Structure 1
Amino acid sequence: MSRRRRYELTDQQFERIEDALPEVDGRGRPYEDHREIVNGIFWVLRSGAP
């Protein structure tokens, strides 16, 4: 089990938004892991990184 960092979503939080994220439809490049992308966005917002 990996350690959750303060800017990452909990399992419960991610389950609440998971249905709103786009699904793979076979066109173009496949999506990366949505959870990883959302956590990265939160890290940028909370850390102030450019």
Structure 2
Amino acid sequence: MNSAEELLTAILDLTKLDSGVVKARHQAIPVQQLLDDIGRDAAILAEKKA
């Protein structure tokens, strides 16, 4: 998926939340895993730009 598609998908998801079609639910998440994923993705992008 390219950046434009990802952006449109994110906007569509937000629209669904805003309209009430999709309901958000609160739940605990493993924060360290999330941060590790973000760090890995950022490192990949940095390597591509280097």
Same fold by TM-score greater than 0.5: no
Structure number with higher helix proportion? 2
Query: Which of the two has higher C-alpha Rg?
Result: 2
- TM-score w.r.t. the length of structure 1 is 0.36
